[in-house]
Structure 1
Amino acid sequence: MTRKNVLFSGLMLFSLFFGAGNLIFPPLLGLESGNNFGPAITGFLITGVLLPFMAIMAIALSENGLVSIGNRVNKLFGLVFAIIIYMSIGAFYGIPRASNVAYELGVKQIVDVNGWFALLVFSLIFFGVTYFISLNPKKIVDRIGQLLTPILLLVLALLVIRAFMKFENIASPAAGNYVSAPFVKGFVEGYFTMDAVAALAFGIVVINALKDKGAASKSELVKGTLWAGVIAGLGLAVVYVSLGWIGKVIPKETDFANGAEILTVASDLLFASGGGLLFGLIVTLACLTTCVGLINACARFFNEIYPKIHYRSYVAIFVLIGLLVSNLGLSTILSLAVPLLVFIYPISIVLVILSLFQHFAGGGKMMYRLSVLVTSIFALYEVLANVGVKVEVLTDMLSVVPFFEHGLGWILPAFIAALIGYGIDRFRRESYK
């Protein structure tokens, strides 16, 4: 395995992470945080870059990826939770969402189209290209890391460099929660990129790619994955800060509803009539690479747990499901997926952190079970709140916990439960190897 292979694996990983959601969150953060941009983007980088990197390493250090991490709670839990992760961020959410965002913020910036038929035609073309790239997993690094990622980075660089040259470095006052708690608000915004969950799927893509390029030993795979994660993380950090800065300094004559509008207007201001084409190309490439990564991860995962169905057949299945769900429309997809995502995301973060901690300091089943149990209570509450079910008794009990109002009330209780479980495991002298 050469340094070149590790470099292209890192570029591939960057592209897999960098979907449309990652593209549109930082500019809005920059706009709303204003003079408090520094602490806000720092919080965003912790959850948008550091946590996904930790998840990648947790997968690399485990024997059987996500399933083996979940097995430390319970074997049935490990399998079921892994399936839920792959289906939620894959066929039922991540894949169709990326396709719809590519249509809404990419193609419609270039061509004036509307209606269900236009979406159908676009999705057929989009998933046709995705299917072709995903067919041979051994060429994923070559097709994404060596081709699509450099194009994406070049187009982004054109936008950012032009912005540095033309926009004045004048920030407006902070707004909303960015006034009183910019770091926490930025932390939450990065949390909702869902990259820490996606990393649980992408980790195995990187590992398999390194194996295909010649990595054989466990230590070589871990080292290669570490450096690929560093490359991807540095790339994401630079892009996030740059896009956030564009939102911070863009002229404020127009009211912006979201980050997509900020980048659209910025593209028009910086490149006149070619702005829409430039932004549309950025979004479409970002969504395409994310879709390829998710389909590859899902197909490989299900091929491993049920190998009687060929990898290519799984690719076709997930492409077909993504195509069908995509045509429900973006609003419907988001409304159906949010309750599931707010449930799995906190549990995923807890499993990642415990897995890394256990690798260096030990820990047994009680550490995992108690912390996951406590986290699940808060996660279930968030699901009920999202679907409109109010449980006042539960609200009164949980609302006293720090950061509850930000949807992060699970953090301190999960930490305490993990410490108690760790103490019990040490007393019983139980520890996972």
Structure 2
Amino acid sequence: MKQTLSLSQYILVGSMLFGMFFGAGNLIFPVHLGQEAGANVVPANIGFMLTAIGLPFLGIIAMGVSRSKGLFDLAGRINTTYAHFITILLYLSIGPAFALPRTAAVSFEIGFASHLDSSLQTVCLAAFTVIFFLLALFFALKPGKIIIWIGKFLNPLFLIFLAVLIIAAFINPMGAPSAMPVQSAYQQEALTKGIIEGYNTMDALASLAFGIIVIHTLSDLGLKNPKDIALGTLKAGIVVLVLMGIIYSSLSYIGATSLGQLALSANGGIALADISTYYFGSFGHILLAGTVTVACLKTAIGLITACSTTFSELYPHTLSYKSYVYLITFVSFLISNVGLTSIIYLAIPILMLLYPLAITLILLAFIDAVCGYHRYIYLCTTVFTLLAAIGDMLGALPFGLNEIAAISSIIEIYRNTLPFFDIGMGWIVPAVIGIALGTVLTFITRK
């Protein structure tokens, strides 16, 4: 018998999905994309939404249809060593290496950076991050009703303010996007550049890490069959897909129009703060800063808790949950002090390595659901994708590291060998070859 949920239950799950995927960090990337894309904002935004919205929900559905118990279980179908590798790297990326430090850095950039002299930025950032992570540490050690309170009251306040800002920008735009300059990265390949920018949200990675939460929620509500769970996730996600699409499109539009009155910013946090001040003055900036900071704090508490729980359960003979909380919080504090722009630059190479592996793992889960499990397809696809993704990672190294002679020589080999390498998608053809080779090997071994 086919199972289904009521409309209110789908809205409940949809709200949970939105809360999981849309944080304050998701605000800064579409704004900055709009500023850089200028007149090419439409194709850039379409590409951004493909990876920032489409992939996360495919990841959630893939976890549902794969019948796996989580990321480690799904990746374990390739190899146990690989399962440890991608689980650790993925959780470090959405945790203390990038996403967690970014929560504090975004809060500081939006709330305080624009009001401080450049000579005070370093000291004030350190003081702010100390307070921010001490609060996160306190609640991660003893999580209580504060997270629920923030989710029920401050997130809606944040979304209301965002809606007011978007409406104000549409009623009184700073300029016309079609008249805005286009930065070099968006002049030729705006769509593919937008796709790469969507990696920065890290939501596709998070979907593999937290997809099991959605599965359990739907199961508790009465859905047991994997097909029903996948369909239920899709239905619950439709409203969220539309809502996030509207928000991303609006923010990228605002970013593009802002160039009519504001200069190109170093990152989206600075741009959003300047745009808010332009429309609402100091009061609007203070309100935005407060809601963003608290939203980021909630996200930080959740990430510290999730990462600490995962590592303490995956490796029970290493550190306790509390020890992981202290360690992850301290590392996040240190990295947050390099600044938001540097965190974004440092994250890009790792994301260029992780995203192809995450995308192919999602694809393999769907192939598994349709055709059954075939280890050679999993193995060949992943090996070929990994080898190619290493090249994409080297090509994206920041601060001139990709111009070092030895690294540059390796990059040149990739460039001359792999199609689409120059647009950051050199992994696509190897992944297809891996699937084809795995299929052939499966056929031969069975015969």
- Shorter-chain TM-score category? 0.7 to 0.9
User: Is 2:78 the counterpart of 1:73?
Assistant: yes
Partner secondary structure for residue 90 of structure 1: helix
Q: What residue is the counterpart of 1:270 in the other structure? A: 279
Write the deviation string for residues 398-429 of structure 1: whole angstroms up to 9, x where unpaired: 43533211111111221222122123324434
Q: Distance in 2 between matches of 1:224 and 1:145?
A: 23
Q: Distance in 2 between matches of 1:251 and 1:329?
A: 24
With structure 1 as the length reference, what TM-score do the two structures score? 0.85
Matching residue within 415, 419, 422 for 1:405: 422
- How far apart are 1:117 and its partner, in Å? 4.9
Q: Distance in 2 between matches of 1:222 and 1:143?
A: 30
With structure 2 as the length reference, what TM-score do the two structures score? 0.82
Q: Distance in 1 between matches of 2:235 and 2:82?
A: 31
Q: What residue is the counterpart of 1:125 in the other structure? A: 131
- Pick closer, same or farther for the CA change 1:225–1:315 going to 2, 3 Å: farther
User: Is 2:252 the counterpart of 1:235?
Assistant: no
Q: Give the conservation status (yes or no) of the 8 Å contact 1:101–1:330.
A: yes
Question: Matches of residues 275-294 of structure 1 in structure 2 within 5 Å?
Answer: 275-294=284-303
Range with greater deviation from structure 2 (102-111 or 339-348): 102-111
Q: What residue is the counterpart of 1:250 in the other structure? A: 258
Q: Distance in 1 between matches of 2:158 and 2:140?
A: 18
- How far apart are 1:72 and its partner, in Å? 1.8
Q: Which amino acid aligns with 1:340?
A: I
Q: Which amino acid aligns with 2:268?
A: G
Q: Which amino acid aligns with 2:46?
A: T
Question: Matches of residues 208-223 of structure 1 in structure 2 within 5 Å?
Answer: 217=224, 219=226, 222=230
Matching residue within 99, 102, 108 for 2:113: 108
Number of residues of Structure 1 aligned to a counterpart in Structure 2? 429
Question: Matches of residues 350-429 of structure 1 in structure 2 within 5 Å?
Answer: 350-385=360-395, 386=397, 387-388=401-402, 389-392=406-409, 395-429=412-446
Q: Give the conservation status (yes or no) of the 8 Å contact 2:392–2:426.
A: no
- How far apart are 1:157 and its partner, in Å? 0.8
Q: Which amino acid aligns with 1:90?
A: G
Q: Distance in 2 between matches of 1:101 and 1:58?
A: 31
Q: Distance in 1 between matches of 2:174 and 2:335?
A: 43
Q: Structure 1: which 5+ runs fail to align?
A: none
- Pick closer, same or farther for the CA change 1:315–1:155 going to 2, 3 Å: farther
Q: What residue is the counterpart of 1:40 in the other structure? A: 44
Question: Matches of residues 57-206 of structure 1 in structure 2 within 5 Å?
Answer: 57-61=61-65, 62-109=67-114, 114=120, 117-131=123-137, 134=140, 142-143=148-149, 145-167=151-173, 170-171=176-177, 172-173=179-180, 175=182, 176-206=184-214
Range with greater deviation from structure 2 (43-52 or 15-24): 15-24
Range with greater deviation from structure 2 (349-358 or 333-342): 333-342
Q: Distance in 2 between matches of 1:28 and 1:37?
A: 11
Q: Which amino acid aligns with 1:273?
A: S
Q: Structure 2: which 5+ runs fail to align?
A: none
Q: Distance in 1 between matches of 2:19 and 2:115?
A: 22
Q: Distance in 2 between matches of 1:409 and 1:58?
A: 24
Q: Give the conservation status (yes or no) of the 8 Å contact 1:86–1:201.
A: yes
Q: Give the conservation status (yes or no) of the 8 Å contact 1:135–1:315.
A: yes
Identity value in percent: 36
Q: Give the conservation status (yes or no) of the 8 Å contact 1:205–1:293.
A: no
Q: Distance in 2 between matches of 1:337 and 1:28?
A: 16
Write the deviation string for residues 216-264 of structure 1: whole angstroms up to 9, x where unpaired: 7465765554445444433321210110111232352432134334322
- How far apart are 1:160 and its partner, in Å? 0.5
Q: Distance in 2 between matches of 1:230 and 1:143?
A: 26
Q: Distance in 2 between matches of 1:216 and 1:271?
A: 46
Write the deviation string for residues 155-190 of structure 1: whole angstroms up to 9, x where unpaired: 211111111121167222562343433322222222
Q: Distance in 1 between matches of 2:259 and 2:394?
A: 40
Q: Distance in 1 between matches of 2:341 and 2:135?
A: 24
- Pick closer, same or farther for the CA change 1:84–1:141 going to 2, 3 Å: same
Partner secondary structure for residue 418 of structure 1: helix
Q: Give the conservation status (yes or no) of the 8 Å contact 1:131–1:315.
A: yes
Q: Which amino acid aligns with 1:31?
A: Q
Q: Give the conservation status (yes or no) of the 8 Å contact 2:102–2:343.
A: yes
Q: Which amino acid aligns with 1:101?
A: V
Q: Give the conservation status (yes or no) of the 8 Å contact 1:16–1:293.
A: no
- How far apart are 1:286 and its partner, in Å? 4.4
